[in-house]
Amino acid sequence: MRRLIILYTKFPTPGQVKTRLIPTLGAEGAAKAHRLMVDHALSHLEKLAGTTREIHFAGARLSQMQDWLGSQSFVEQRGLDLGARLVRSFADSFNQGQEAVLIIGSDCPELSAQHLEEAFEALATKPLVLGPALDGGYYLIGLNRPVPQLFSEIPWSSPWVLKATLDIASHLGLSYHLLPPLGDVDEPVDLELFYRIFGRL
């Protein structure tokens, strides 16, 4: 099975990343937290054998991403909203011959290589895998074929993202596998999770 994992991320420009953490960490501190979490996520991706990796980025030129993260495979995100960007990423990946595709963000520091392997294993028998986030969203979505309907009319950045996605899956008759629920680092209340893994900034 041809496997691809995509990391969605933004260039760490102070004031433009992790903006909800700025009141607690400041713009520079929030950008540093973002960089640490991206490095942490990449360290787990590098542990996966037989898996292609791509970084789908926003907020920068390709040269800036290369200066930051070196010799990775970079793709610029395209689409008016998150749903459109996800549809595009999955469609392009399957058109290129991938058979199992995971997309993750960089703000779930508890996500491990073991979780990613579990997700790929699930896609051998089920078309959809989701990693529920404790805030009601998801930290991972995986497919073994395009299902653009999963990203239509989703209330992004709300506590109902996961539920809306599962409702669509049920309506479409898609079986799915759920990974363990994990926390995201988005709000100041989430910083205890961040500090437990990375220490104080």
Q: DSSP code of 19?
A: G
pLDDT at 56: 98
Closest CA to 142 of 106, 175, 173: 175
What is the pLDDT at residue 102?
98
What ranges do the domains of the chain cover?
3-198
d(CA 154, CA 137): 10
pLDDT per residue of the chain (201 residues) written in tens, 0 to 9: 999 999 999 999 999 999 999 999 999 999 999 999 999 999 999 999 999 999 999 989 999 999 999 989 999 999 999 999 999 999 999 999 999 999 999 999 999 999 999 999 999 999 999 999 999 999 999 999 999 999 999 999 999 999 999 999 999 999 999 999 999 999 999 999 999 999 998
Helix and strand counts by DSSP (H, E) for the chain: 6, 7
pLDDT given at position 201? 84
pTM value?
0.96
CATH topology of domain 3-198: Spore Coat Polysaccharide Biosynthesis Protein SpsA; Chain A (3.90.550)
C-alpha dihedral sign at 183, 40, 87, 19 = positive
Q: CA–CA distance from 2 to each of 114, 165, 179 (Å)?
A: 18, 25, 21
Q: For residues 138 and 183, give the distance between their C-alpha atoms in angstroms, rounded to a whole number.
A: 9
pLDDT at 155: 95
What does the alpha-carbon distance between residue 141 and residue 77 come to, in Å, rounded to a whole number? 16
